[in-house]
Structure 1
């Protein structure tokens, strides 16, 4: 297959703004974690989440780990506390409507512009899927969720306001601007060796891989993130070339069990989850339940889960190679960020309502300002086409 640069420019306003997922590195509010008796199930589970020594006798007596997601919601920093202010396309929004809570492999996070769960998950009507997707979340007034994919694009009959939102222009004034509070005094345990946030820009169709590729954001700094889109498109007749020859898949050529649309990332999540389920007999809490009756992995299976997870990440290992098994998408959209940051100054927030009771010391220790935007109105994408002698599909 011939890979070339498309001579025609693509306008950024034809695509959605990237999904943006943000996680506090803190896994539990100190004030909430310290309320539990050290002999309670909840305290024991929190120690497990924090990767600390656990009372094995208590852990072994826990027979049902299915409420782990609810506990994570209860003990984690809510999006309303994390995100103090948010603007998109020059308009200020209610941040709890712009950002949806989501359970990831890095704990409870907040995501902007992700496709609605009813379009993402194949069996969304199961109670387990709805619980995982936080069905009580409400979109900003007047906005409707719509289906979108890298291959089919947006539906032809778009409402006036919709999610995932399109990119509207260049520059930080019409990008996504947010103010974050890390609440460092509430730190109980961190997923890293630091205090701060993880952030990831990703395709709205995909679940974020926060643990492995999330990038760090520091409090006390303003960070500007410039976006460079990377798009792959395939000519229509590429479909008639054998899969092994073209080395990519169209979205209807591989049926996923959890997700409606095929992407390499979503396939990788399922591949790893399948290996964990077959070997360890359970599913990690951050993987949506397909039928609702799957067993949630307990502390007893944690070593098995981590071993299989790492094995499926390795290239050319003895176990199924998920990176090789999950081919790239023939039509794909991703976003490459460039980070620039500088220290915050307290005087810059004098006219902001949320900063009325914030001292200079608190600002420097807890507040992060992030501006995410495109710098160019157009870009050139990668185009897949055939060439003479290419093997055809049977």
Structure 2
């Protein structure tokens, strides 16, 4: 292009048509494409390229951009749906940093035959040959026997029924013969505390006092789960205080192995066994749980049969959550931190405590009363034998409705669904798995060999139980971020760089050409020459 220099003495200027908007835009885009750091753009805007070449490069760029955007959307979807990854901790945790498990013991004998012969009274009931007192006692005992035996009676009960259940069940002194903690003989009453469960009157070791566990729960001055020992500022999230010594509560083991565990001799008397109330298996049910969790013995337990010795090797399983997940919604991370969920009846949130409270509320709604072992206030009615079927149906109905809400129409599980109970796991959870072994326990021969006095053991059947940690350390699991904001940005940047050669400076270039450079061109050369093309600007400089 030959520039025309106009003589200053000339009085006229040759007519020159200014470039059109399309031409200016094309020249401006050509300049941008020649300077852009995005791969392939320069071939689209290069003036000397043929239309076929430009079209091919435009197709390639469009395909790369589509694939890149698709993969970024998939990455974002994965971040939204599964932001948490569970991994193992970097180092093992010693067993003395966690409490020894709470141990709940329930006898399968719900009523001593020597006090109340349930079998005889039950058969009298089938023959409609009961006195009023026998009928009243039969209905009360039916609350802890198999639910199908006597599902009729009064709709509600009072606390006198609970006192009666405690009276006819095996007493503490009859159940426990000897206890050892860390290989030292202890008074069993110093270790175990009576508690209420769906199995009737049970006894629990190493559980928090009810003052630290419950809120707004009435016990009518009964001493269930009330031992008066305060915890040593222990919490499930933070563990024991750094300056806590050996003597803490909940108690902790100092090592693995039998010498640092709990041993007990349990007994039942042949004359008191009843095979109608609870069926053919006699002995005891045991449950391991942590100190701030209510036991549900009927749901999770292992048996300790009579005249058997049970050895239980405990393997803890702990799950923690990184602080980086606190900013996520609980349903995204699938757990609750302690400050995020407050229960009505429990001071400590755990998934099981939440489930018990939810079942309690649901049962109260369906049956207008709750079972005697459920948490309740002073205005709540307690269900009697006449509501046994209603309580059972309420439990099944709640489980069924929760399952249906967790499934969509195609049978796929919806992990982020908001349930009625909304009982997500606690962000810090602790469970105790066990490996059990057992053998015949020929205790009479041992007593004879040691010439031990059999006083009080006539007709007795003994069960030995030993519990201890299997190993000195265990591996903790941790919830961590799968993608944090930085990880997601780096992932997106990697995809954009791989497919487009795109970077933060590329965005700056685009913004620069759309704003600052365009504004400066308009300011310096007028709106007719906004393109900033060097050729056009050079023409204008010579002409003016």
How would you bin the TM-score normalised by the shorter chain? 0.7 to 0.9
TM-score, structure 1 normalization: 0.86
- What's the counterpart of residue 424 of structure 2? 327
Q: 2:266 aligns with which of 155, 180, 191?
A: 180
| Mapped partners of 1:306, 1:158: distance in 2 | 45
CA distance 1:32–1:202, shift in 2 (3 Å)? same
Residue 385 (str. 1) matches residue 480 (str. 2): yes
Instruction: Compare 112-121 and 304-313 and name the one that shifted more.
Output: 304-313
Do 1:224 and 1:372's aligned partners in 2 also have CA atoms closer than 8 Å?
yes
Q: Which runs of 4+ in 1 moved over 6 A?
A: 318-324
Do 1:5 and 1:380's aligned partners in 2 also have CA atoms closer than 8 Å?
yes
Could you list the per-position Cα deviations for residues 64-119 of structure 1 after superposition, in whole angstroms to 9, with x for gaps in the alignment?
43332222211111222111101111221111221101110111111100111111
Instruction: Compare 21-30 and 70-79 and name the one that shifted more.
Output: 70-79
Could you list the per-position Cα deviations for residues 162-201 of structure 1 after superposition, in whole angstroms to 9, with x for gaps in the alignment?
3310122111122000101022320235434311110111
Q: 1:207 aligns with which of 270, 288, 294?
A: 294
Q: 2:396 aligns with which of 310, 322, 325?
A: 310
- What's the counterpart of residue 219 of structure 1? 306
- What's the counterpart of residue 348 of structure 1? 446
Q: 1:17 aligns with which of 100, 116, 131?
A: 100
- What's the counterpart of residue 47 of structure 2? none
Do 1:15 and 1:166's aligned partners in 2 also have CA atoms closer than 8 Å?
yes
Q: Residues 117-266 of structure 1: matches in 2 within 5 Å?
A: 117-123=210-216, 126-128=218-220, 130-131=221-222, 133=224, 135=226, 137=227, 144-155=230-241, 158=244, 161-188=247-274, 189-266=276-353
Structure 1 position 348, deviation (Å): 3.1
Instruction: Show structure 2 runs of 5+ residues with no match.
Output: 1-83, 122-129, 407-416, 487-544
| Mapped partners of 1:354, 1:16: distance in 2 | 36
Residue 114 (str. 1) matches residue 114 (str. 2): no
CA distance 1:237–1:328, shift in 2 (3 Å)? same
- What's the counterpart of residue 367 of structure 2? 280
Structure 1 position 338, deviation (Å): 0.7
Structure 1 position 209, deviation (Å): 1.2
Secondary structure (helix, strand or coil) at the match of 2:476 reads: strand
Do 1:313 and 1:322's aligned partners in 2 also have CA atoms closer than 8 Å?
no
More helix by share: 2
| Mapped partners of 2:92, 2:223: distance in 1 | 39
Do 1:283 and 1:295's aligned partners in 2 also have CA atoms closer than 8 Å?
yes
Please report the RMSD computed on the Cα atoms of aligned residues, expressed in angstroms. Answer: 2.9
Do 2:105 and 2:286's aligned partners in 1 also have CA atoms closer than 8 Å?
yes
Do 1:200 and 1:214's aligned partners in 2 also have CA atoms closer than 8 Å?
yes
Residue 369 (str. 1) matches residue 456 (str. 2): no
Structure 1 position 39, deviation (Å): 1.5
| Mapped partners of 2:382, 2:179: distance in 1 | 35
Instruction: Show structure 1 runs of 5+ residues with no match.
Output: none
TM-score, structure 2 normalization: 0.64
Do 2:151 and 2:389's aligned partners in 1 also have CA atoms closer than 8 Å?
no
Do 1:119 and 1:147's aligned partners in 2 also have CA atoms closer than 8 Å?
no
| Mapped partners of 1:10, 1:171: distance in 2 | 16
Secondary structure (helix, strand or coil) at the match of 2:90 reads: strand
Structure 1 position 219, deviation (Å): 1.0
Could you list the per-position Cα deviations for residues 212-248 of structure 1 after superposition, in whole angstroms to 9, with x for gaps in the alignment?
2111111111110000000001111211122121111
